[in-house]
DNA sequence: CGTGATGCGCTTAAGCGCATCACGGTGCGTTAAT
């Protein structure tokens, strides 16, 4: 077959992984495609290969600058020179130069915000695209409505006779799939839906009556069992306090959150990936685009704000296919903070009124921002919805968002309090059915955690002998 | 909405009881003030 020979020649693989060929064939037939593929199943091949077959520019819309940078570096490493990330890392001159010569690139990575700029759109409309890719497409639904509204504008950016769109994601509920289809203006897309279940991730949970007991258990647990692992917590300050306590107890740990310096974040991430750092204590900022194979534990010190986040976060464990555990910790009233944080930054009814007032007087509504009446995020979100709907409709939309966010926390609470199989609950939440349960399924199915976890000393010994072997190998290769 | 830190007033002047207050996630791009 022709596709196989391109796969062999260009990428050096002898066969496709499940889903890849179906997805690529549909793209080559000119169809829109939504592909739900687990991480590590070769999503990027699904657009790289068509890029070479169709021989025109591929546009990849990506949520994070660091993610774009990684992918560009990766492709350059494999010999592709005609690849660029069009984002704010470029200065004004560089940006203009790139935009003016846009057609010379085979792969262009871009953020939704940059894509929304008129200058960029005008240029893009004049060049021929073979394919439009939306990477991490669940962001449309996860971030579009109340955080990064430009995610909802992607569909508008391209005319009616546009190139096919490929939406890629690892976790999407039926509602998220609907949102993707709707906001990307897709026409009867082909859907490739892989199971979201990850049988080698074993699920557990524990409840405590107060925070101290919970933290005490956490510190005991991390002292006695081996990483590498990620501890997810609710606030930036908690990432620091927990990692400091771990450090004081001689455990290799560092904190990570969105308010930290970009270089610090990259440094910590790098150390974790290389294996010189055992534990990361993080907010939900940590994880997207982290390709670490051997994460053994995911511990939620605080309740995740919804099931989708929980699924994505535990999904960072066990990419190598070996056993990993996810432990969800809960102490009374934890859900209150999750609810508060979720709705805290949504625009209020009074903001809608003020915005309308400015508009009616023919004034620039951005004055709200300058006068500190509203946060930057809330203003951008408000601005989007005021373009789309009437003020009363906008008020209803925000009211419904609040209710929805609280309900989503309650759904996680059900996972915490219920006796039914955690894996089944999760898989059902994503609109799928669970065919096989692993032997060590979840705590409600009689999981033996101790058997799955490696004691800390054991791990240290093996890692010591590993580094010793590596040293010898290094010595030998240097001498020869 | 709940938590934890801080502060105040009271009083077998060192520590208790209670009130008050600050704080709380996710990222893009651009720009103003040093």
Q: What is the pLDDT of residues A400-434, one digit of tens each?
A: 999 999 999 999 999 999 999 999 999 999 999 99
> What gap in Å lies between CA A450 and CA A446, rounded to an integer?
12
Distance measured from the CA of protein residue A92 to the C1' of nucleotide B34, in angstroms: 22
Pairing state between β A201-208 and A229-232: unpaired
CATH 3.40.50.300 describes domain A201-338+411-479 = yes
- Which protein residue lies nearest to nucleotide B4, measured between its Cα and the C1' atom? A211
> Any idea which residue has 């306090």 for tokens?
A241
Q: Give the model's pLDDT for residue A469.
A: 43
Task: Give phi and psi for A179, each to the nearest 5.
Answer: -60, -40
pTM of the model: 0.92
Q: Give the model's pLDDT for residue A63.
A: 97
- Which protein residue lies nearest to nucleotide B28, measured between its Cα and the C1' atom? A113
- Strands, DSSP E only, in A39-188? 57-61, 83-86, 107-110, 129-134, 165-169
Q: Give the model's pLDDT for residue A457.
A: 64
Distance measured from the CA of protein residue A336 to the C1' of nucleotide B9, in angstroms: 33
Give the closest nucleotide to A309 (alpha carbon vs C1'): B26
Distance measured from the CA of protein residue A351 to the C1' of nucleotide B2, in angstroms: 26
First to last CA, chain A: 43
Distance measured from the CA of protein residue A332 to the C1' of nucleotide B7, in angstroms: 28
Residue A320 near residue A295 (C-beta atoms within 8 A): no
Give the closest nucleotide to A119 (alpha carbon vs C1'): B29
Tell the CATH topology of A3-193.
Answer: Rossmann fold (3.40.50)
Q: Give the model's pLDDT for residue A455.
A: 77
Which pLDDT tens digit goes with each residue over A179-199? 999 999 998 999 999 999 999
Distance measured from the CA of protein residue A46 to the C1' of nucleotide B2, in angstroms: 47
Name the residue among A300, A133, A132 with its Cα closest to residue A204.
A300
Q: Give the model's pLDDT for residue A132.
A: 97
For strand B, give the nucleotides within 7 A of a protein CB: 1-4, 23-30
Query: CB less than 7 Å from strand B: which protein residues?
Result: A 63-66, 87-89, 111, 113-114, 117, 142-143, 146-148, 211-212, 234-237, 257-259, 283-285, 305, 309, 332-333, 336-337, 340-345, 376-377, 380
Low-confidence ranges of chain A (pLDDT < 70): 1, 457-480
Distance measured from the CA of protein residue A216 to the C1' of nucleotide B12, in angstroms: 39
Distance measured from the CA of protein residue A295 to the C1' of nucleotide B3, in angstroms: 32
Distance measured from the CA of protein residue A333 to the C1' of nucleotide B24, in angstroms: 14
Q: Give the model's pLDDT for residue A451.
A: 84
Q: Give the model's pLDDT for residue A478.
A: 30
- Which protein residue lies nearest to nucleotide B29, measured between its Cα and the C1' atom? A88
Task: For residue A406, give both structure tokens.
Answer: 């609280």
Q: Give the model's pLDDT for residue A284.
A: 94
- Which protein residue lies nearest to nucleotide B30, measured between its Cα and the C1' atom? A88
Question: Structural domain boundaries of chain A?
Answer: 3-193, 201-338+411-479
Q: Could you give the count of Cα atoms lying within 13 Å of A346 in the half-sphere of its Cβ? A: 25
């Amino acid at each position: 077959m022709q596709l196989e020979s391109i796969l062999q020649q260009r990428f050096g693989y002898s066969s496709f992984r499940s889903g890849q060929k179906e997805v690529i064939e549909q793209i080559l037939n000119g169809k829109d495609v939504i592909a739900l593929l687990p991480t590590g199943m070769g999503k990027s091949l699904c657009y790289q290969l068509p890029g070479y077959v169709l021989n025109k520019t591929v546009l990849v819309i990506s949520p994070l600058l660091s993610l774009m940078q990684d992918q560009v570096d990766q492709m350059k490493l494999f010999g592709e020179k005609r690849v660029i990330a069009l984002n704010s890392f470029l200065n004004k001159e560089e940006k203009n130069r790139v935009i003016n010569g846009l057609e010379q690139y085979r792969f262009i990575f871009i953020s939704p915000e940059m894509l929304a700029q008129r200058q960029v759109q005008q240029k893009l409309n004049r060049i021929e695209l073979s394919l439009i890719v939306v990477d991490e497409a669940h962001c449309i639904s996860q971030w579009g409505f109340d955080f990064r509204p430009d995610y909802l504008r992607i569909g508008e950016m391209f005319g009616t006779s546009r190139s096919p769109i490929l939406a890629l994601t690892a976790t999407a509920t039926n509602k998220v799939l609907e949102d993707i289809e709707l906001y990307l203006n897709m026409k009867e897309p082909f859907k490739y839906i892989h199971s979201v279940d990850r049988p080698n991730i074993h699920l557990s949970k524990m409840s405590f009556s107060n925070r101290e007991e919970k933290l005490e258990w956490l510190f005991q647990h991390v002292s006695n069992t081996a990483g590498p692992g990620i501890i997810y917590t609710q606030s930036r300050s908690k990432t620091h306090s927990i990692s400091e306590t771990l450090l004081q107890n001689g455990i290799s740990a560092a904190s990570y959150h969105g308010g930290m310096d970009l270089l610090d974040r990259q440094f910590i991430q790098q150390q974790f990936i290389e294996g010189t750092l055992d534990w990361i204590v993080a907010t939900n900022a940590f994880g997207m685009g982290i390709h670490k194979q051997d994460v053994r534990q995911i511990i939620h010190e605080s309740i995740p704000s919804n099931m989708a986040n929980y699924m994505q976060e535990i999904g960072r464990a066990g990419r190598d296919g070996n056993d990993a555990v996810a432990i969800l910790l809960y102490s009374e009233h934890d859900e209150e903070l999750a609810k508060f944080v979720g709705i805290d930054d949504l625009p209020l009814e009074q903001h809608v009124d003020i915005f309308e007032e400015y508009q009616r007087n023919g004034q620039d509504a951005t004055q709200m921002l300058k006068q500190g009446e509203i946060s930057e995020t809330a203003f951008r979100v408000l601005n989007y919805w005021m373009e789309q709907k009437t003020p009363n409709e906008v008020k209803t939309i925000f009211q419904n968002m609040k209710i929805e966010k609280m309900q989503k926390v309650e759904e996680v609470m059900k996972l915490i309090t219920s006796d039914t199989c955690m894996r089944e609950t999760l898989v059902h939440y994503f609109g799928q059915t669970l065919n096989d349960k692993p032997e060590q399924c979840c705590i409600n199915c009689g999981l033996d955690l101790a058997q799955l976890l490696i004691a800390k000393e054991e791990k240290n010994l093996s890692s010591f002998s590993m580094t010793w072997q590596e040293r010898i190998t290094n010595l030998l290769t240097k001498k020869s």
